[in-house]
Amino acid sequence: MTNDKQHTGGSLLFDVMQQHGVTDIFGYPGGAIMPIYDALYDSDVNHFLCRHEQGAAFSAVGYARASGKVGVCLATSGPGATNLITGLADALADSIPVVAITGQVPTVAMGSDAFQEIDIFGLSLACTKHSFQVTNINELEKVLHQAFAIALEGRQGPVLVDIPKDVQLAHVESTHPKVTRLKNKVNLPPANVGSAIAMLSKAKKPVIYVGGGVGMANAVDELRAFIETTNMPSVSTLKGLGAIDPDHEHYLGMLGMHGTKAANLAVQQCDLLIAVGARFDDRVTGKLAKFAPHAKVIHFDIDTAEIDKRRKADAAILGDLKVNLPALAIPLAIKEWQQHCQQMKNDFAWRYDHPGDAIFAPAVLKEISEKMPKNTCVTTDVGQHQMWSAQHMAFNDPSNFLSSGGMGTMGFGLPAAIGAQVSRPHDCIIAVSGDGSLMMNVQELSTIKRFQLPVKIVLIDNAKLGMVRQWQDLFFNGRLSETDLSDNPDFLMLAQAFDIKAKQVHHKDQVSAAIDEMFNHDGAYLLHVKIDAKENVWPLVPPETANDKMMENS
Amino acid sequence: MNHYQLIIHVDDKQVVLERILQVTRYRGFLINGIEAKVNTGTHIGTIKLQISSDRPIELLIDQINKLIDIKDVSVDNNAVAPT
C-alpha cells in the first residue's frame, strides 16, 4: 500500500499502522466497523480474530508487554467498544502502550440513541491516557499518528480512536502530515542528583525498590549495573519482577502484601529507600504511615505526578532512567547491612517440604520455573496462583512475566498469553491460571485453536475463588460467601473440545512427568493441577497493617 | 477543607473541559464553580476552576498537567476563598 494513493478512512488506518511498524492486531468485527474490516481484507496486517472484545484488548496488552511494541485492538461500536473498556483500564493502570480503534455509528446518527451507539469517547476519559473521536476525514491521518506517538511517549498508556462509519468510508488522499507531538507541557524539574548522592553516601542501610517502570524504560541493563556497583539489597514489585537478576546474592524478592519476609523486613528497617519506576502502591506499602518508617526516599520516575503522591520524596529524580540511574551508581561500604539482609534471606527462605500426597502449588510452579526453556514468558491471571507464581518462579526480564498489577483483572492471563505468543512465536509462553480466572475469558481457547498457538496453560484448580475464600476464612469468620466453584466444567473435556492436549494431576508423584510432557508437546497443552482448597498464600500482610506484621503459616 | 482557584490554559480541543472535570472529581476535589471561555483567534481556552479539598493542591495540578491538551496550570493566589 503506498502513501500517496487515494484512501478510504479504513485503508488509511492500515497504511498508518504499517508506517508505525504494526504487523499484528486483535479484534472482532461488527456493523459500525465494517468499512475498516473491508479495508483489512486488502491489508498486509495480520488480524487475530478473538472471541470477545475483552480478549482482543488483553491480547493487545500481552502483545505490547511481551514485545515492547504498541498493541492494537479493534472493536465495533456499542457493546464491542464497551467490551474493550476493562482491557483499556488494565493498560492504563499498568502503563501499557495500546491503540484501540472503535467503529462508531455514522456522524448523522450520533447522539440519536442509534442502534449499537454508545458514547465510547466519553467512557474513555477515565480509562485511557488520551482519546480521539474523528468526525472529519481530513483529520484522521494526523490523529492516528498522534495516537501511536502518545501511547509510547513519556509514561506509556492506552489511546482510543473512535471513528464513525461514514468517516471510515470517506475518501481522502494521504497528506503525510507533519505530526505535532501532543505532549503535555510538564517541565521536568532538574534532577536532584547532588542531594541524592549525599544521602546515598551517608546511608548505612539502603534498599532499592524496583517497579515496572524499569522494564518500560528499557533500563534493565542500567539497573543491574547500578546494583552491581552499589551492591545494595534489592526488592521488587509484582510488575518489576525480572528487572533484577533473580540470582543476585542481595536480591530479596518481592515486597508487599504477599512479599517475602526478608524483603519486607529489610524495607521496614532500611534508612534509605531508592524507589525506581515504582509508585508506592497500597499492595506494596501496607499501612502507608508505617511503611519504611526510618527511611529517607529517593524517587526515580518519568511521571511528575507520582512524586509525593503517596510518599514524600527527599530527592526526586525525574526523567529517563537510562540516563539518571548511572548518575547515582557509586560503591557503598555497607557490608554489615548486606550480611544482615543475607541472613534474613537465608533464615526466611521458602520451604517446599510440604506434608502429604496433595499437590503443593508453590512446588509445582518452582519446578516449572526450573524446567522452562530460556526466555519463556509467563502470564498469570489474578488470585492465589498469581501470587504463588510471583513468589516461586524466577524471571530474567520484565517482559517475561506479564501479570495484571494495578487493575488486578481476572481473565487477563489467557488472552495476554495469546498476544505474547503472537509477538514471540519462537518463545515458550505459559499462562498460569486459576479455575475462577480461566473461566472469565475461556472463549479464547478458540483463538488458540484457530491460530494453532502452542500456549501452555497451567491451571491451578482448587474449585474455589481461592484468594477471596482465603480472606473469608481469615477476615470474615469463615463465612464462605459465593466462592465455591465445585461445579466447574470438566477441564480435560473442555480442552479436548478445542483440540488442546490436556492432563490432570492430583498427586505429588504425578507432577514431574506431567510437566515434562507439557514441555515436550509441540502444540497447546493444558496441565490441570488439582490442589487442596484450603491452601493459603503466605505470608500475608493484613489490610491497613505495617509490612513487618505479616501473618505466616503456622 | 481548603479552597483554591485554578487558572488553566488549554488548547481548544475536543472534550478538554470534560477531561479536567473528570480528573478533578476523581482525584478528590469538589468543584464549587467554573468559568470557561475560548479565544477564537488563538484557539486557546482559559478555564477558572474554584475547587475545595483536604488534599494538597499540588497533587491535582500534577494530574491536570499530564492531560494532553493542557498548556499550563496555576493557582490564583488572589482569589478570595469562600467563607
Residue of A nearest to B55 (CA): A309
Cα gap A92→A246, rounded to integer Å: 27
User: Can A467 be counted among the known catalytic residues?
Assistant: yes
Among the listed residues A58, A24, A29, A89, the one whose alpha carbon sits nearest the alpha carbon of residue A415: A58
Confidence tier at B82 by pLDDT (50, 70, 90): low
User: Which residue bears the cell 519446578?
Assistant: A367
Residue type at position A377: C
Catalytic residue among A53, A306, A444, A535: A53
**CA neighbor of A526 nearest in space, from A495, A499, A553:** A495
Angstroms from B58 CA to nearest CA on chain A:
9
C-alpha span between A485 and A470 (Å, rounded): 14
Contacts of A132 in chain B (CB under 8 A): 14
pLDDT, tens digit only, all 554 positions of chain A: 444 578 999 999 999 999 999 999 999 999 999 999 999 999 999 999 999 999 999 999 999 999 999 999 999 999 999 999 999 999 999 999 999 999 999 999 999 999 999 999 999 999 999 999 999 999 999 999 999 999 999 999 999 999 999 999 999 998 877 666 555 545 566 677 899 999 999 999 999 999 999 999 999 999 999 999 999 999 999 999 999 999 999 999 999 999 999 999 999 999 999 999 999 999 999 999 999 999 999 999 999 999 999 999 999 999 999 999 999 999 999 999 999 999 999 999 999 999 999 999 999 999 999 999 999 999 999 999 999 999 999 999 999 999 999 999 999 999 999 999 999 999 999 999 999 999 999 999 999 999 999 999 999 999 999 999 999 999 999 999 999 999 999 999 999 999 999 999 999 999 999 999 999 999 999 999 999 999 999 999 999 999 999 999 86
What does each C-alpha distance from A451 to A344, A379, A417, A527, B66 come to in angstroms? 47, 19, 13, 20, 40
Alpha-carbon distance A310 to nearest alpha carbon in chain B (angstroms): 10
Q: Is the separation of the CB atoms in A265 and A247 below 8 Å? A: no
Considering only CB atoms, B66 lies closest to which of A125, A132, A305, namely A305
Residues 6-35 of B with CB under 8 A from A: 14-15, 18-19, 22, 26
Q: How far is B21 from chain A (nearest CA, A)?
A: 10
Does B69 contact A182 at a Cβ distance shorter than 8 Å? yes
Percent helix, strand and coil across chain B, each to the nearest 5: 25, 45, 30
Which SS3 state, helix, strand or coil, does residue B36 take? strand
Instruction: Choose, from A387, A467, A518, A550, the residue flagged as catalytic.
Output: A467
Enumerate residues 42 to 81 of chain B having a beta carbon within 8 A of any beta carbon in chain A: 56, 58-59, 62-63, 65-72
Residue with cell 520484565: A398
Q: Quick one: residue B23, left, alpha or beta (phi over 0 = left, psi -120 to 50 = alpha)?
A: alpha
Cell matching residue A138: 481530513
Measured CA to CA, the distance from residue A5 to residue A396 in angstroms comes to: 46
- Chain A residue with the nearest C-alpha to that of B66: A184
Does A125 contact B at CB distance below 8 Å?
yes
* Residue written as grid cell 490564583: B76
